Structure 1
Amino acid sequence: MRDTADQKLVRKLNNNIILDVLRKEAPLSRANLSAVTGLNRSTVSSIIDELIDGNWVRETSFQTDKIGRPGLQLEINPKGGYVVGIEIGVDFLLCLVTDFSAEVIWRKRLQTNPEDGQVAIQQQAFDLAAEAIEFGKKECGRCLGIGIAIPALVDAQNGIVKLAPNLKWENVPLRLIWNQQFHYPVYVENDGNAAALGEYYFGAARGIQDIIYIAAGYGLGSGIIVDGKLLRGNKGYASEVGHMTYDPKGALCSCGKRGCYETIIGPRAVIENVKNLITEKGPDHTIIKITEGGKNAINYDAVVNAAQENDPIAIDALKEVGCKLGLVVSHLVNIFCPKMVILGGALNYAKDFIQPTVAKVVKENALKLCQEDLEITNSYLGQESSVMGVIGLVLENLWQI
């Protein structure tokens, strides 16, 4: 009995290895798979036959440089199933559907109002997910799971939102609720962690084992990957960079404390900086002309647009945020010594001004040895980083033991 269990375990491990290699390196022949994985050819062929029968993998002709018939190559079958990923943001919902090869085949974004409350927002999310599932069924047949990203302290193991201060949610059993609604596997993750995973699986950090992801939006989210594993910490709430204290007597944060970095880095801080600079230096600036409504009509998009038109006030406001963020990143670089730091969200939108400033401050403040080979870059996946991260979680867990 024990031998049978061990054989099944080894078989599943080998399945995982083969699928992982095909996702990264396809198309490959059976002989190539054997060479890359170190598994013998008979084992590879047996597993591949099962995967083809299960519609997970498909054979395709691929012309080689050699004379004669093209050899049969193997690749992930995109029609093997679909995954639904959804981000429940503070004031929006973003939903993607990918096929089994993780190609996005459907996307939709909706604006929401956090004041509507948890029940109303959940219903909007259900309706959006139902629309996504209907599309996925037509295209790829079976649903492989649902991933949910949310700006919250998340008990990822049990799928519970412990605290989402900007949404005013607390102790919400999100996985259970969604399981009951749709009856598919559900994975729940903090949006910063999810975004880090998205860039790790599919974006700027593919093939890189040590990364730090930081994004500004309504709050300041982050995720840290060390040795290819998401850093969770003792309770699973690690990487809350936005709630590190900058000034104990500073502005009140949504978490209830004062002077968190979230209050001084991000769109709201940029807008406040611009308003203060206009009060100090006068209203004769491009930013006022763009908004056509005085300084009270200023929004983040207008600031970035004005900066691109060389408005000194807009540029100074963005660079000030870049300087403060650069100090945060310097501390993190000294602690974790990453290969890559990725800036996402609103930071990515203003990348021409924030990223160079962050890089300059890090160069001046972080330890030189920790900076060797360090790359500070912008998000590749943009606004879809978090959703792609939870989609990656579904796919990663599909074959796990």
Structure 2
Amino acid sequence: MSVGIGRILTHLRDFGPTSRANLARETGLSSAGVTKICASLDEAGLLRESASKETALGRPATEVSIHPQGGYVLAIHLSPVRAHVAVCNLAMQVLSEDTVDYGASASETDVVERAVAVARGVVTAARIPFDQLLGVGVGVPGSVDEEGRINTHSVLAGWRNVPFAKMFEAALGLPAILSHNATAIAIAEARYGAWKGSESLLYLLLGKGIGGGYVKTGAHERTSIVEIGHVVVDPNGPLCRCSGTGCLERYFSEAPLRQMVGRDDIPSSQLISTAMQVEGWSEIYEYFVQALATTVTLLGPETIVLGGDFLTAPDHFVAELRKDLPPRVMPQQRANLAIERASLATPSGVQGAACIALDTFFFSSGPAHLGRSSNHANRA
């Protein structure tokens, strides 16, 4: 039954309100199965009904949709220096949020303790019972194991094999799942953003480093980390913290851009616009376009979504990129290639963390408590 629940919830997420008859047609489930599953979802407070326009027979059909307040998730985005925490509902709307700084020298245990303290505060501020939380999504810099349990390596933060999922579960008493931050945001943009119709999407995150996430949507969905920041653009360049030399990140991320501008105090929102006025801009922009062209050629995304510090880049930066990138990729790739700014509300890190929590603890097979009640009903 859990597979059927997942199919129905996912269809309602992706296509919105619809009738039970249409759910049966679109999901391949029997009419009786859809009726039974919808009844259990409705009883659990996860669905709501509304009347649609009249059918061909002249009678309005009853449509079902996901009730946004039927459950909630905690979303935690960990950067090397701070945590952003939010409570989101089933529509991925942020109900309460807060941040805490812990600095680059904080231990992993200190990072978790501070994030947990903030998490309890945002749950209280959202005025929801703790037992209505389905789980915790955690976005982290760097790679994550296949089970979504361990942050195996973060070059930016210096974290290695940190079992963040287990640590948050022990502290909060809720199931937790990890994901690479930019990949989680890419999935969120593909699920909920303005570009949700794209067959494949590459999300670029510019900040202390430059990284990305890729998602190919559809029945055989595929996601991956995109380490564009560690594409070598100058083999004779400076040593990177990844131990390589001449990586893009050594030229095109916040620290080297500030160094080029000659101002350490410049806000990130003004970084690209200021850097574009400096003599060395054309060279580092060329490095960026070179690395991006390589990435697009290998992955073939339909849409490139610019996030992080790219959000506040001048319009003419985006216009130049739209002009300069397509000639460097395959003709079949450039035909439908779109380059857009991120559409989700900032800070996008918690949106990504919320998305993976909803995918894991709700849309895949329904909430755990629903599965338990369904199994109990079947045994009875």
TM-score, normalised relative to structure 1 = 0.81
Which of 272, 287, 290 does residue 324 from structure 1 map onto? 287
Report the Cα distance in structure 1 between the residues aligned to 2:210 and 2:154, rounded to whole angstroms. 13
The reply on whether 1:354 has 2:317 as its aligned counterpart is: yes
Displacement of 1:52 in angstroms is 0.6
Displacement of 1:366 in angstroms is 1.4
1:161-212 C-alpha deviation (Å, 9 max, x unpaired):
1122322222211111111111211011111211211211111331322111
The reply on whether 1:80 has 2:70 as its aligned counterpart is: yes
Which of 238, 247, 262 does residue 249 from structure 2 map onto? 262
Report the Cα distance in structure 1 between the residues aligned to 2:239 and 2:2, rounded to whole angstroms. 50
Which of 221, 224, 231 does residue 223 from structure 2 map onto? 231
Displacement of 1:63 in angstroms is 6.1
Matches for 1:1-400 after TM superposition, within 5 Å:
11-62=1-52, 71-136=61-126, 138=128, 142-228=132-218, 229-232=221-224, 238-275=225-262, 295=263, 297-303=265-271, 313=277, 321-381=284-344, 383-398=346-361, 399-400=363-364
- Give, as a single letter, the amino acid of the residue that structure 2 aligns with 1:366: V
For the 8 Å contact 2:190–2:217, the answer to whether it is kept is no
Displacement of 1:101 in angstroms is 2.3
Moved more, 90-99 or 210-219: 90-99
- Give, as a single letter, the amino acid of the residue that structure 2 aligns with 1:231: T
1:286-330 C-alpha deviation (Å, 9 max, x unpaired):
xxxxxxxxx4544434445658xxxx725x666654432222221
Report the Cα distance in structure 1 between the residues aligned to 2:346 and 2:93, rounded to whole angstroms. 16
Displacement of 1:380 in angstroms is 0.9
Report the Cα distance in structure 2 between the residues aligned to 1:29 and 1:371, rounded to whole angstroms. 39
Report the Cα distance in structure 2 between the residues aligned to 1:63 and 1:219, rounded to whole angstroms. 50
Report the Cα distance in structure 2 between the residues aligned to 1:45 and 1:78, rounded to whole angstroms. 21
For the 8 Å contact 2:148–2:179, the answer to whether it is kept is no
Report the Cα distance in structure 2 between the residues aligned to 1:254 and 1:380, rounded to whole angstroms. 31
For the 8 Å contact 2:74–2:87, the answer to whether it is kept is yes
C-alpha spacing 1:74/1:319, structure 2 compared with 1 (3 Å): farther
Report the Cα distance in structure 2 between the residues aligned to 1:153 and 1:97, rounded to whole angstroms. 24
> Per residue, is there more helix in 1 or in 2?
1
Displacement of 1:29 in angstroms is 2.5
Listed as ranges, the gaps of 5+ residues in structure 2 are 366-380
C-alpha spacing 1:152/1:296, structure 2 compared with 1 (3 Å): closer
1:43-95 C-alpha deviation (Å, 9 max, x unpaired):
22111111111222122345659999865331111221101111111222212
C-alpha spacing 1:143/1:101, structure 2 compared with 1 (3 Å): same
1:234-288 C-alpha deviation (Å, 9 max, x unpaired):
xxxx42221122223322322233221111112223222223xxxxxxxxxxxxx
For the 8 Å contact 2:233–2:287, the answer to whether it is kept is no
C-alpha spacing 1:47/1:303, structure 2 compared with 1 (3 Å): closer
Q: How many residues align?
A: 362
SS of residue matched to 2:179: strand
State the identity as a percent. Answer: 24
Report the Cα distance in structure 1 between the residues aligned to 2:98 and 2:206, rounded to whole angstroms. 21
Report the Cα distance in structure 2 between the residues aligned to 1:320 and 1:107, rounded to whole angstroms. 39
C-alpha spacing 1:48/1:382, structure 2 compared with 1 (3 Å): closer
Moved more, 25-34 or 13-22: 25-34
Moved more, 343-352 or 135-144: 135-144
C-alpha spacing 1:216/1:48, structure 2 compared with 1 (3 Å): same
SS of residue matched to 2:128: helix
- Give, as a single letter, the amino acid of the residue that structure 2 aligns with 1:44: V
Displacement of 1:339 in angstroms is 0.8
- Give, as a single letter, the amino acid of the residue that structure 2 aligns with 1:400: S
Q: CA RMSD in A?
A: 2.7
For the 8 Å contact 2:228–2:292, the answer to whether it is kept is no
Displacement of 1:387 in angstroms is 2.1
Listed as ranges, the gaps of 5+ residues in structure 1 are 1-10, 233-237, 276-294
Report the Cα distance in structure 1 between the residues aligned to 2:71 and 2:51, rounded to whole angstroms. 22
C-alpha spacing 1:205/1:124, structure 2 compared with 1 (3 Å): same
C-alpha spacing 1:329/1:253, structure 2 compared with 1 (3 Å): same
- Give, as a single letter, the amino acid of the residue that structure 2 aligns with 1:391: A
SS of residue matched to 1:96: strand
Report the Cα distance in structure 2 between the residues aligned to 1:147 and 1:396, rounded to whole angstroms. 10
- Give, as a single letter, the amino acid of the residue that structure 2 aligns with 1:127: A
Report the Cα distance in structure 1 between the residues aligned to 2:80 and 2:239, rounded to whole angstroms. 18
C-alpha spacing 1:158/1:43, structure 2 compared with 1 (3 Å): closer
For the 8 Å contact 1:223–1:230, the answer to whether it is kept is no
